[in-house]
Amino acid sequence: MRSISHSLMFRRYIATAVLSICFGQAAMAAFPVVTHHQPLGVTRGGEATVVLHGNQLSDAREVLFDQPGVEVIECKPIDNKSIELKVKTEATLQPGMYSFRVVTASGITNLRFLSVGTMPIVEEVEPNNDFATPQEIPMDCTVEGNVDREDVDHFRVSLKAGQKLTVEIEGMRHRWSLSNRDILDPYIAILDDKRFEVAVSDDSLLFQQDGICSFTPEEDGQYTVLVRDSSFLGQRNICRYRLHVGSFPRPTTIIPSGGVQGELLKAKLIDIDGTITDASVQLPTDFINPENSRGTPTQPYPVITEDKSGISPSPNWIRVGNLPIVNEVEPNNDHRKAPECSVPALLSGVIGEPGDFDCFTFECKKNEKFRVQLYARETLRSPLDGVMNVFDASGKTLKSSDDIGGKLDGSFDFTAASDSKHTIRIYDHLRGGSPLHNYLIEVSRLEPSFSLDLKELRRDEAMVVPVPIGGHGAMMVQAKRDQYNGEIALELDGVPEGVTVQTFPIPPGRIEIPVVLTASADASLAGTFFDVIGRGQQGDQVLTADLQQHHKIVLGQNRRAMLEHSTPKAVMAVCEAMPFSIELVQPKTPVLRRGSKELLVRIKRNEGFENAVYLKTLYNPPGVGVNNSRKIDKGQNEVTIPITANANAAMGTWPLVMQVSYGTKLGTQTVASAPIMLDVENAVFNYKFPRAAAETGGETQLMVTMEKIRDIEGEMEVQLVGLPNGVTCEAPVQKVTLESTSVTFPLKIAADAKTGVHKTLNVQTRISRDGETMVQTDGTGEIRVDKPVVKKDPAAAPEKKPKPKPKTDAPPKPLSRLEQLRQEKESS
CA pair distance 302, 195, nearest whole angstrom: 37
Name the CATH topology of 325-447: Jelly Rolls (2.60.120)
8 A C-beta contact, residue 571 and residue 526: no
For residue 719, pLDDT beyond 90: yes
Percentage of the chain surpassing pLDDT 90?
A: 86
Half-sphere exposure of 415 (CA within 13 A, CB side): 4
pLDDT average, residue stretch 666-693: 94
pLDDT for 666: 86
Name residues whose C-beta falls within 8 Å of residue 467's C-beta, 6 or more positions apart in sequence: 473, 496, 499, 517, 518, 519, 572, 573, 574, 575, 671
pLDDT for 15: 40
Q: List strands edge to edge, sheet with 340-341.
A: 340-341, 358-364, 420-428, 386-391, 397-401
pLDDT for 27: 32
pLDDT average, residue stretch 298-314: 95
CA pair distance 705, 644, nearest whole angstrom: 24
For residue 818, pLDDT beyond 80: no
For residue 150, pLDDT beyond 90: yes
CA pair distance 283, 537, nearest whole angstrom: 32
For residue 783, pLDDT beyond 60: yes
CA pair distance 523, 152, nearest whole angstrom: 52
CA pair distance 637, 659, nearest whole angstrom: 17
Mind giving me the DSSP string for 797-819?
A: PPPPPPPPPPPTTSPPPPPPHHH
CA pair distance 666, 55, nearest whole angstrom: 9
pLDDT average, residue stretch 214-222: 96
798 vs 621, higher pLDDT: 621
CA pair distance 423, 813, nearest whole angstrom: 112
Task: Let me know how many helices (H) and strands (E) the chain has, helices first.
Answer: 1, 67
507 vs 29, higher pLDDT: 507
CATH code linked to domain 580-681? 2.60.40.10
**Domain 450-575 matches domain 685-786 at the CATH topology level:** yes
pLDDT tens digits along 248-290? 999 999 999 999 999 999 999 999 999 999 999 999 988 876 6
Phi, psi of 796 (to 5 degrees): -65, 145
pLDDT for 4: 34
Give residue 2's pLDDT band: very low, low, confident or very high (50, 70, 90): very low
Name the CATH topology of 685-786: Immunoglobulin-like (2.60.40)
Terminal alpha carbon distance of the chain: 137
CA pair distance 592, 776, nearest whole angstrom: 6
pLDDT tens digits along 24-39? 333 334 689 999 999 9
pLDDT tens digits along 478-493? 999 999 999 999 999 9
| Range with lowest mean pLDDT among 393-397, 398-402, 533-537, 821-825 | 821-825
pLDDT average, residue stretch 631-655: 96
Query: Quick check: bond before 256 cis, omega within 30?
Result: yes
8 A C-beta contact, residue 113 and residue 174: yes
pLDDT tens digits along 47-61? 999 999 999 999 999
Give residue 7's pLDDT band: very low, low, confident or very high (50, 70, 90): very low
Answer yes or no: CATH 2.60.120.380 is held by domain 147-246: yes
Q: How many Å separate Cα 258 from the centre of its chain?
A: 28
Half-sphere exposure of 201 (CA within 13 A, CB side): 24
CA pair distance 395, 391, nearest whole angstrom: 5
The strand pair at 186-191 and 221-229 is best described as antiparallel
| Spans of all domains in the chain | 147-246, 325-447, 450-575, 580-681, 685-786
Answer yes or no: CATH 1.10.3260.10 is held by domain 450-575: no
pLDDT for 760: 93
pLDDT for 180: 87
For residue 13, pLDDT beyond 80: no
pTM here is: 0.87
Give the alpha-carbon dihedral of 370, 375, 379, 381, to 10 degrees.
-170
pLDDT average, residue stretch 216-232: 96
For residue 16, pLDDT beyond 70: no
The strand pair at 276-282 and 258-260 is best described as unpaired
pLDDT for 826: 73
CA pair distance 597, 614, nearest whole angstrom: 20
pLDDT tens digits along 58-97? 999 999 999 999 999 999 999 999 999 999 999 999 999 9
8 A C-beta contact, residue 67 and residue 99: yes
Give residue 573's pLDDT band: very low, low, confident or very high (50, 70, 90): very high
pLDDT for 12: 36
| Mean pLDDT, all residues of the chain | 91
Q: How many Å separate Cα 179 from the centre of its chain?
A: 16
8 A C-beta contact, residue 623 and residue 650: yes
CA pair distance 331, 252, nearest whole angstrom: 26
Bridge partners for 117 per DSSP: 43
Name residues whose C-beta falls within 8 Å of residue 173's C-beta, 6 or more positions apart in sequence: 1, 3, 97, 113, 207, 210, 563
pLDDT for 141: 98
pLDDT for 632: 97
Handedness of CA 331, 333, 338, 343 (dihedral sign): positive
26 vs 768, higher pLDDT: 768
pLDDT tens digits along 620-631? 999 999 999 999
8 A C-beta contact, residue 37 and residue 599: no
CA pair distance 98, 699, nearest whole angstrom: 80
pLDDT average, residue stretch 426-442: 97
For residue 554, pLDDT beyond 80: yes
3-class DSSP state for residue 247? Answer: coil
CA pair distance 157, 517, nearest whole angstrom: 57
Give residue 291's pLDDT band: very low, low, confident or very high (50, 70, 90): low
| Long-range interactions of 324-332: CB distance < 8 A, separation 24+ | 324/260, 325/256, 325/258, 325/259, 325/260, 326/360, 327/256, 328/358, 328/360, 332/357, 332/358, 332/359, 332/360
For residue 720, pLDDT beyond 90: yes
8 A C-beta contact, residue 226 and residue 143: no
8 A C-beta contact, residue 411 and residue 230: no
| Range with lowest mean pLDDT among 403-412, 438-447, 467-476, 739-748 | 403-412
For residue 163, pLDDT beyond 70: yes
Name residues whose C-beta falls within 8 Å of residue 796's C-beta, 6 or more positions apart in sequence: none
8 A C-beta contact, residue 160 and residue 216: no
8 A C-beta contact, residue 459 and residue 430: no
Give the alpha-carbon dihedral of 311, 312, 316, 321, to 10 degrees.
10
3-class DSSP state for residue 10? Answer: helix
Give residue 809's pLDDT band: very low, low, confident or very high (50, 70, 90): low
Name residues whose C-beta falls within 8 Å of residue 754's C-beta, 6 or more positions apart in sequence: 724, 725, 726, 785
How many CB atoms sit inside 10 A of residue 557's CB? 7
pLDDT for 791: 65
CA pair distance 676, 655, nearest whole angstrom: 6
The strand pair at 121-123 and 141-146 is best described as parallel
pLDDT for 366: 93
Bridge partners for 758 per DSSP: 783
8 A C-beta contact, residue 725 and residue 754: yes
At residue 292, what is the residue type? N
pLDDT tens digits along 595-610? 999 999 999 999 999 9
3-class DSSP state for residue 827? Answer: helix
CA pair distance 662, 377, nearest whole angstrom: 45
pLDDT for 650: 95
pLDDT for 400: 93
pLDDT for 290: 62
Residue count of the chain: 828
Name residues whose C-beta falls within 8 Å of residue 782's C-beta, 6 or more positions apart in sequence: 689, 691, 692, 757, 758, 759, 760, 761
For residue 792, pLDDT beyond 90: no
For residue 815, pLDDT beyond 80: no
Burial of 273 from C-beta contacts in 10 A (0-12 / 13-18 / 19+) = middle
Give residue 794's pLDDT band: very low, low, confident or very high (50, 70, 90): low
